[in-house]
Amino acid sequence: MATTLTSNYVNRLASGFLKAWNSQMVFSKTVNRSVITDNDFRNPASGDTAFVRRPWDFTAVETARGDLTSSTMNTLQRGRASAVAQNVITVPIQWDLIDESQDLNDEDLGMIMSAASSRLATKFETNLAAYAKNNLGHTLGTVTNTVSQWSDVAQIGSFASAMGFPEGRCTGLFDPYSIERLANAQNGLAGNSGTLVTSAWERAAIAGNFGNVDARMCDTLAAHTTGAGYDNATVVIDGVAPTQTYLAAKDTYQTTLALTGFANGDTLLIGDRLSIPSIYFVNQKTKTLSVGRDGAPLPYQCVVTATPTAADANGDMTVVVQGPAIFEANGQYDTISAAIGTSNGVSIISGAESTVNVPSIFMHPEALGLAFVRLSKLYGQESRVITSKDGSFSMRLSMGSDMTTAETTLRIDMQPVFSTFNPLLGGVVWGN
């Protein structure tokens, strides 16, 4: 039966697309989709920005008689996170009237919609995974070691507790081979319990929770190629301490580091990861030192979030990192226990130069934000914009014919919006 360009038909196609789309989402279901709304954007260009308010934080003081004369007062500094419109992602499909009259029926178009949703979902989730890799600041495990034991998963929950993450279960997103290794490792966790072993091979999960971590398989994790600055063991802060105030970081949650000790022409790339071993994180709840499983304080870590200019002839390079270094007198928003000095050593922990790797991702639900632009209908076409009831998802499906060529075009469009609420609530994870 030949197709007809009616609103009802477009509605049916859209309904079929949504059903297939929802079944294929993995990464996006772990991201906060309630803070950013489509009301923040109206047909933006890629790179357009809206802002989402960050939560306030405070310190508590203790006094013998309640006298605050010598106490530092908490201040109300309104911070905001950037929500950035990404590129429009489109699956365009075209056929002529001969194809339509001879071959295409409702069943064929249902299969077309399923394949189109799969391609769109893969592209979208790959972009989201790359964004997460490049904007979440922590690095767990030993870089390039494969995730192979459930203790590699459990380290996420332990680390989240040590860092004082907010209430809520973290998600670990692992590549298919890591999930296979975890499933195999789980055979011995439950003895002869058939239920748990079966669950291991079906879902690689223990009742969806292991060490307060929800482990999921994700086949869209982004590969990373390390820059050419890894092999320099003498990198230090270049004589000027970075600005370490909340006021400077509140709208970006970034810190700028002036570094030296590179070879001329060395580079770092977006997604490369740094550490300052002599500077330590504080627990975000208690504001006391965060301590790792070995009893040692957890060193400050961050991720390069913008490609820096290559090191000059003096070995100097300025790097913008995600994961703010904040140290102030009252400690209200502190992330580190002492100020970064003018010559602190810096370690590049991404892996060997030019190595390609695919790190797994972990994150708390409040680490990242996601929304979709409510695109306008295409005029002169049968066009339908579908938005979920909670406003967290929107897509556009349009269909029309060219009277000159007698060809029919179907296109499915979406434009996601990504935001980093707190880069210190997630990161990459490797095996130990």
Summarised one tens digit per residue, pLDDT across range 245-261 is 998 998 889 999 999 99
Helix (H) or strand (E) holding 404: none
Nearest to 239 by CA among 261, 255, 258, 256: 258
pLDDT at residue 103, rounded to an integer: 56
**What mean pLDDT is predicted for residues 10-32?**
75
Higher pLDDT, 204 or 20: 20
For the entire predicted model, the pTM comes to: 0.85
Extract the tokens encoding 376.
């306008």
Amino acid identity of residue 338, one-letter, is A
pLDDT at residue 207 is higher than 50: no
Q: For residues 89 and 17, which has the higher predicted lDDT (pLDDT)?
A: 89
pLDDT for the residue numbered 149: 87
**pLDDT above 60 (res 212):** yes
Q: Which residues pair with 397 in a beta bridge?
A: 384, 412
Beta carbons within 8 Å of 205's beta carbon, 6+ residues apart: 199, 214, 215, 216
The per-residue pLDDT for 319 is 96
Helix axes 106-135, 7-24, angle to 10 degrees: 50
- If you count them, how many residues does the chain have? 432
Does the pLDDT value for residue 1 go beyond 50? no
| Mean pLDDT value of segment 19-37 | 76
Query: 242: pLDDT confidence band, cut at 50, 70 and 90?
Result: very high
* Secondary structure (DSSP) of 347-358: EE-S-STT-EE-
Is the pLDDT reported for residue 168 higher than 90?
no
Q: What is the mean pLDDT of the chain?
A: 82
Residue 364 has pLDDT above 80, yes or no: yes
Distance of CA 229 to the CA centre of its chain: 24
| pLDDT-derived band at 106, boundaries 50, 70, 90 | low
Percent of the chain with pLDDT over 90: 34
Confidence of residue 102 (pLDDT cuts 50, 70, 90): very low
In this structure, what are the phi and psi dihedrals at residue 266, rounded to the nearest 5 degrees?
A: -60, 150
**For a pLDDT cut of 70, what percent of the chain falls above it?**
81
Per-residue pLDDT tens over the stretch 129-166: 999 999 999 999 988 889 988 889 989 999 999 999 99
Rounded to an integer, what distance in angstroms lies between the CA atom of residue 351 and that of residue 229? 10
If pLDDT is split at 50, 70 and 90, which confidence band does 286 have?
confident
CA distance 155 to 330: 31
Q: Is the pLDDT of residue 204 over 60?
A: no
Rg (C-alpha) for the chain, rounded Å, is 25
- The residue that leads in pLDDT, 368 or 112, is 368
Residue 281 neighbours by CB under 8 Å, 6+ apart: 163, 289, 290, 297, 298, 299, 300, 301, 335, 336, 337, 424
What is the average pLDDT across 355-376? 89
DSSP strands (E only) in 35-190: 49-53, 80-85, 89-96, 138-140, 170-174
3-class DSSP state of 130: helix
Q: What is the pLDDT of residue 5?
A: 44
Q: Is the pLDDT assigned to residue 121 strictly greater than 90?
A: no
In this structure, what token pair is assigned to residue 97? 């009237």
Angle between helix axes 194-203 and 176-185 (nearest 10 degrees) is 170
Arithmetic mean of pLDDT, 22-44: 73
Give dist(CA 78, CA 92) in Å, integer.
Answer: 43
Burial tier of 65 (Cβ tally within 10 Å: 0-12, 13-18, 19+): exposed
Within 287-344, residue ranges assigned H as helices are none
**Whether pLDDT at 219 is above 80:** yes
- Residue with token string 């190629």: 225
pLDDT computed for residue 101 by the predictor:
46
Mean pLDDT value of segment 281-310: 92
In this predicted structure, the answer to whether residue 100 has a pLDDT above a threshold of 70 is no
Arithmetic mean of pLDDT, 20-35:
77
Q: Helices 176-185 and 150-163 sit at what angle, rounded to 10 degrees?
A: 100
Mean pLDDT of 203-227: 76
Residue 215 has pLDDT above 90, yes or no: no
Residue range 382-416, pLDDT digits in tens: 888 877 766 678 888 888 877 777 787 888 898 99
